Amino acid sequence: MSNKVILIILDGLNYQVARECMGCLMGYVELSRAQLHKLVCELPSLSRPLYETILTGTRPLDHGVLSNDMARRSHQNSIFSLARDREKTTAAAAYYMFSELYNHGPFQPLEDRFQNSPDQLIQHGLFYWLDHYPDSHLFADAEYLRTAYDPDFLLIHPMNVDDAGHHHGLLSSEYRKAARSVDVQMAEYLSGWLEAGYQIMVTSDHGMNGMCSHGGTLAEEREVPLFLLGKTFDHLRSMQLKQLHICGLVCEALGIEQHGKLLPISSAH
């Protein structure tokens, strides 16, 4: 079976803050219309390494992107490459690092902000480079890509939660407010996307600590949410999922066979 998939990576969102502040998404969970899983992110708990982990189903030590400064193209099969090679349409409204990982680099804002090419791994891309680029604009960018190009796989990657965490820390009202805000903005689109038949995943690369950073092994830096919305995911309800499973689960939902990314999933009980 083949479905269209929207993967939303809310950068820097801690699991507990997601649970406590995201009333719209948790409303879906309360009515059993979404599942919420707690994931422990791979190490190091940094953005660029974990973008690659989420999109390829491989650990940072194995894919080799170990810092945010390591600006090189991915060497792995990714959701983007697997989908494109099976003639599915890919799109992303995301931070410039995704362009560097899957299309080309170094990122040149004036040339690389808008990208459209069937040969690229991200065929339709709309990229930003400032961490305070408003989440509201980013969701509008994503909705433009969805309606204009009808992608099979759409990545949406807002940054404002992580940005608030770096300025004010895990325990700040500003960090929580950013989580509440993106939850409400997302809710404006979710019901329409579900009605249109999309399978939707909402997760994060890493969490945040009380010292305005992440990268280490504290629980608050590593624990992130994975919300699953859509009938394709029903069989996962009682499963113990890992961040490494996301790539394979997206491929399965897209109907991509033999993608080599299907890791064993154990039961939570």
Min dist CB 163 to Zn ion, Å, is 8
Could you tell me the strand order of the sheet in which 90-95 lies? 35-40, 223-229, 199-203, 5-9, 153-156, 90-95, 124-128, 114-116
**DSSP strand pairing (199-203 vs 5-9):** parallel
- Asked if 220 is part of the footprint of Zn ion (rule: CB under 5 A), the reply reads no
Query: Treating both helix axes as pointing N-terminal to C-terminal, what angle do 246-254 and 47-56 enclose, rounded to 10 degrees?
Result: 40
Min dist CB 11 to Zn ion, Å, is 6
Min dist CB 83 to Zn ion, Å, is 27
Q: From residue 5 to residue 44, what is the string marking binding to Zn ion with x (rule CB under 5 A)?
A: -------x--------------------------------
SS3 content of the chain, % helix, strand, coil (to 5): 45, 15, 40
Min dist CB 46 to Zn ion, Å, is 7
Q: Which stretch binds Zn ion (CB under 5 A): 4-12, 14-22, 55-63, 177-185?
A: 4-12
Evaluate whether 200 touches 194 at the Cβ level (below 8 Å): yes
Rounded CA-CA distance 82/46 in Å is 24
Q: Select the residue whose beta carbon is closest to Zn ion and give its number.
A: 162
Residues 235-264 that bind Zn ion (CB under 5 A): none
Q: From residue 91 to residue 120, what is the string marking binding to Zn ion with x (rule CB under 5 A)?
A: ------------------------------
CB closer to Zn ion out of 152 and 162: 162
- How many residues bind to Zn ion according to rule CB under 5 A? 2
CB closer to Zn ion out of 47 and 115: 47
Question: Across 41-113, where does the E strand assignment appear?
Answer: 90-95
Rounded CA-CA distance 256/142 in Å is 23
CB closer to Zn ion out of 208 and 246: 208
Q: Which stretch binds Zn ion (CB under 5 A): 2-10, 78-86, 89-97, 162-170?
A: 162-170
- Asked if 162 is part of the footprint of Zn ion (rule: CB under 5 A), the reply reads yes
- Asked if 163 is part of the footprint of Zn ion (rule: CB under 5 A), the reply reads no
- Asked if 52 is part of the footprint of Zn ion (rule: CB under 5 A), the reply reads no
CB closer to Zn ion out of 12 and 125: 12
Evaluate whether 55 touches 244 at the Cβ level (below 8 Å): no
Evaluate whether 224 touches 205 at the Cβ level (below 8 Å): yes
Query: Residue 187 gets which letter from DSSP?
Result: H
Rounded CA-CA distance 183/158 in Å is 11
- Asked if 141 is part of the footprint of Zn ion (rule: CB under 5 A), the reply reads no
Binding residues for Zn ion, rule: CB under 5 A, are 12, 162
